[in-house]
Amino acid sequence: MKYILITLLLFLSANAQDNGLAPEVTDLNAADISFVKEKEIPYLKKPYISQSPKDLNDGIPVGSLGKDGGNIEKVLAFVQEIIEKDDNNHKTDSFLINYKGKLIFESYYKRGRINYPHYQMSITKSYTAMALGRAVQLGYLKMEDLHKPVIHFLKGLDKEKLVAGADKITVHQAMQMKSGIRLSKEKVKDLMKSPEKLKGIGQLQAYLSHSETIPEKDVKFKYQAADPCITMQLLEAVVPGSAKDFIKNELLAKMGIKNYGWQEDISGLPKSAAGSSWRSRDMMKMGMLVLNKGKWNGEQLLPEKFVENATSALTTSWGNNSYGYFWWVNNYDINGKTYLCKAGRGAGGQFIFMFPEIELIVVITAHNKGMGTMLKGMPPKIIPAFDGK
């Protein structure tokens, strides 16, 4: 029976490919990248599954599942689950595996295409943190500046209108979702009625002027858009030119990331809470950058200490989850062993899972309602394929 299953899975893999080439979008271009346009992409008639991803000379070394690590049977059994499940929580678009620095498995389903950037929700926060890290690496900020009141770096704020405690908020706190800013939904709706007042620094001015009083200590974690807004506003203030151009030229271009989307916030700055669009392979690059401690192709793009802080358990969020600088940290107990996981997460099902101990990175995109089931369901199935007994 086991032999039959393996044979069927291997047959599935061999026959799911489309002429050996990963599926592409041919009728949309970079200018069409958006959450709305993405919905127009028709489902693939059959999944694309490759155990030996093509070398695209994109900076990602490639290898083969099995030959370069991984239990083929276990991985393909999980792929079979992806194919068979199709409901609101199981609409996977891509599933990629990088092991010990090599991309060894690449697959696309439904709306997944190798050349089309997938819309990213809250994982955009993770990218925003790394953009600020790039500014630190280039000397526009120092690591100690992260612990200084952020208003000292911002121009144009009317400090006379700030609520008590707003002048003490640091970006170190903000990137942990611990700025202390609290606005009611009613107040936010009221502020949105005058979008012209939220342009530029006006957006942050509104947060800092209409919040409840900021507590001096014991600030609680709260997942909200205000804190990544602080981070993007700081980036805009300290780098030459604009935050948009800085992200494009000094971070993404350095990793060969050119085909992407990044929506504009009401402020005119790049969105920071959600709103970017990335190809699955480029998401993989971000995971590789993190596991390489901020180094890409021999160049230190981010300070090693910044990456360590960003992906460490600096604060408790909820449940067994911890948080760094807009990156999630938690442990998985599998077969009597504990595995540390560092991850970027986005609603709908965008994930960059990193398991440093076994040098494993898993990238997933989906268009689920909510987070889907990969957060709990993938690690117990895939980790044993790379660290099984």
Tell me the domain boundaries of the chain: 2-122+250-387, 141-238
Looking at the structure, give the CATH architecture of the domain made up of residues 141-238: Up-down Bundle (1.20)
Q: 2-122+250-387 adopts what CATH topology?
A: Beta-lactamase (3.40.710)
Q: What pLDDT shows up at residue 10?
A: 47
Q: Count CB neighbours of 30 within 10 A.
A: 13
Q: What pLDDT shows up at residue 5?
A: 45
Q: What pLDDT shows up at residue 318?
A: 79
Mark the ranges of the chain whose per-residue pLDDT is less than 50: 1-8, 10-19, 30
Question: In DSSP terms, which residues pair with 120 in a beta bridge?
Answer: 276
